[in-house]
Amino acid sequence: MVPLWIGNSLPNLVILNLRSNQLYGRVPLSLCRLSQIQILDLSLNKIEGTIPECIYNLTAMSRTMNTTPSAIYVYIGVTYTDYASLVWKGRESVLKSFLGLVKMIDLSNNKLHGEIPEGITDLTELVALNLSRNNLSGLITPKIGLLRNLLSLDLSRNQLYGEIPMSISNISFLSQLNLSTNNLSGKIPTGTQIQSFDASAFLENPKLCGAPLPNKCLEDLHPNYINNQGHKKENDDDDDGFITKGFYVAASLGFIVGFWGVCCISVLNIRYIMKRLTSNAQRILA
């Protein structure tokens, strides 16, 4: 399992790369204490459970990027430059010159389930987020657009559903996107950046439509028809509503007036008859 002591004993840890091992169990909550962490890579393991809600505590990923592109250290008179081997944009690379600018989370190729915690959108300086090849479900949070510094976003091969949030088009520097093999639906948000991606970024989402996919949305195929139908239906509803209300109001008023009119006439007739009978009776008695 991922050791608990990593988060408890190494609060100043900047890079944690445990990729491609046989680790299992859950992501320990103690990792949320790594407030200085800039690179967290637990990919290609057998880790299960959910992504910790406390992930927003990785505050180094929400602070403005380091202006120093590389991490340079001086130790006992010897100068050396730090580096890290990372999977960047789908290929393994050794980052050295720009390591100080990289802030990334890679939890791909595990057995994680549950929803993507909304708190992950607090890590606004992330440049790469890879949660692919898990069993994650739920919606893509509407706040995903807050990650405006993302260069790479991979949520493919999960069980995410619902629509792609419109805010994703706010991620202006996104150069790699993969949302394929999920259960996403609706229209792909329009935006220069989104439509520039290849259709492969959205494939195997049967209910997804719109550019760059070849299957068009219904409103794109027949915009005039749908608008006219919607307008016509609205007018029809208004007409039906007007006729129905007018008819029932008139009928009700007519019934009430007629009923009371008949009642009044009947009462008057009875009084007249009674008056005549009384008068005739008095004459006979006289």
Give the three-class secondary structure for 215.
Answer: coil
Average pLDDT of the chain, as a whole number? 80
Q: How many domains does the chain have?
A: 1
The verdict on residue 228 lying in a domain is: no
Cα(187)–Cα(29) distance, integer angstroms:
37
The verdict on residue 280 lying in a domain is: no
The verdict on residue 10 lying in a domain is: yes
pLDDT band at 256 (very low <50, low <70, confident <90, very high): low
Q: pLDDT tens for residues 117-159?
A: 999 999 999 999 999 999 999 999 999 999 999 999 999 999 9
The verdict on residue 142 lying in a domain is: yes
At 165, list the tokens.
Answer: 């949030």
Judge whether residue 74 has pLDDT over 50. Answer: no
The verdict on residue 173 lying in a domain is: yes
Query: 228-239 as b/e, with b when 16 or more CB fall inside 10 Å?
Result: eeeeeeeeeeee
Q: pLDDT tens for residues 191-212?
A: 767 888 999 999 999 999 999 9
The verdict on residue 277 lying in a domain is: no
Confidence (pLDDT) at 223: 63
The verdict on residue 253 lying in a domain is: no
Confidence (pLDDT) at 164: 96
- Using DSSP bridges, classify how beta strands 91-95 and 84-88 pair: parallel, antiparallel or unpaired: antiparallel
User: By C-alpha distance, which of 69, 71, 130 is closest to 98?
Assistant: 69
Read off the CATH number of the domain in which 35 is found. 3.80.10.10
pLDDT band at 111 (very low <50, low <70, confident <90, very high): very high
Provide the CB-side half-sphere exposure for 182 (13 A, CA): 30
* Whole-Å CA distances, 106 to 39, 53, 113, 170: 8, 16, 15, 22
Cα angle, residue 20 at apex, residues 17 and 23 outer, rounded to 5°: 85
Provide the CB-side half-sphere exposure for 55 (13 A, CA): 24
**Cα 258 to chain center, whole Å?**
60
pLDDT band at 94 (very low <50, low <70, confident <90, very high): low
Most confident of 34-38, 86-90, 226-230: 34-38
Strands of 176-178's sheet in order across: 15-17, 39-41, 104-106, 128-130, 152-154, 176-178
Rg of the chain in Å (alpha carbons): 36
Cα(241)–Cα(118) distance, integer angstroms:
44
Confidence (pLDDT) at 194: 85
Give the three-class secondary structure for 81.
Answer: strand
Higher-scoring residue by pLDDT: 7, 68: 7
pLDDT band at 73 (very low <50, low <70, confident <90, very high): very low
Confidence (pLDDT) at 154: 97
Q: Which domain holds residue 153?
A: 5-218
Confidence (pLDDT) at 37: 94
The verdict on residue 231 lying in a domain is: no
Length of the chain: 286
Give pTM, 2 decimals.
0.71
Judge whether residue 31 has pLDDT over 70. Answer: yes
* Mean pLDDT of all residues in 221-247: 53
